[in-house]
Amino acid sequence: MSLQDTSQVSNCSAMSDVLNRIGDKWSVMVVGMLGRNGTLRFNELKRMINGVSQRMLTLTLRNLERDGLVTRTIYPEVPPRVEYSLTELGKTLQGPISALWDWSAENHFAIVEARAIYDLRQDATAAAEPRKIAYARG
Amino acid sequence: MSLQDTSQVSNCSAMSDVLNRIGDKWSVMVVGMLGRNGTLRFNELKRMINGVSQRMLTLTLRNLERDGLVTRTIYPEVPPRVEYSLTELGKTLQGPISALWDWSAENHFAIVEARAIYDLRQDATAAAEPRKIAYARG
DNA sequence: CGGTATCCATTTGGATACTG
DNA sequence: CAGTATCCAAATGGATACCG
CB-based contact A111:B67 (threshold 8 Å): yes
Q: Which of B23, B66, B104 sits opposite A15 (nearest CB)?
A: B104
Q: Give percent of chain A above pLDDT 70.
A: 85
Write down the pTM of the prediction: 0.85
Q: In the structure, how many helices (H) and strands (E) does chain B have?
A: 5, 3
Q: What is the mean pLDDT of residues A99-117?
A: 93
Report the distance from CA of residue A79 to the C1' of nucleotide D7 in Å, as an integer: 50
Greater confidence (A130 vs A68) lies with A68
Predicted confidence (pLDDT) at residue A131 exceeds the cutoff of 50: no
- A23:B18 CB<8 A: no
Distance CA A109, CA A116 (A): 11
Neighboring chain B residues of A118 at a CB cutoff of 8 Å: 65-68
Nucleotide nearest residue A72, measured CA to C1'? C2
Ordered structural domains, chain A, with CATH: 9-128 (1.10.10.10)
pLDDT tens per residue across span B27-43: 999 999 999 999 999 99
Does the beta-carbon distance from A105 to B69 stay under 8 Å? no
Identify which of A13, A19, A108 has the shortest CB distance to residue B28: A19
Which whole-number Å values give the CA distances from A59 to A21, A65, B110, in the listed order? 11, 10, 21
Is residue A8 predicted with pLDDT exceeding 90? no
Whether CB of B58 is under 7 Å from strand C: the answer is no
Task: Find which of B28, B69, B100 to mutate to test the A interface (most A CBs within 10 Å of its CB).
Answer: B100
What residues of chain B lie within 8 A of the CB of A12, using their CB?
29, 49-50
- Tell me which of B124 and A96 has the higher pLDDT: A96
User: How many contacts (CB atoms, under 8 Å) link A and B?
Assistant: 170
Residue A89 has its nearest CB partner, among B7, B102, B107, at B107
DSSP 8-state symbol, A53:
-
Q: Please give the pLDDT value at position A2.
A: 37
Instruction: Determine the Cα–Cα distance for residues A128 and A131; give it in Å rounded to an integer.
Output: 8
pLDDT beyond 60 at B87: yes
DSSP helix/strand/coil, B69: coil
CB neighbour list of residue A13: distance below 8 Å, 6 or more residues apart: B50
Closest CA of chain A from B126, distance in Å: 16
Q: Is A40 helix (H, G, I), strand (E, B) or coil?
A: strand
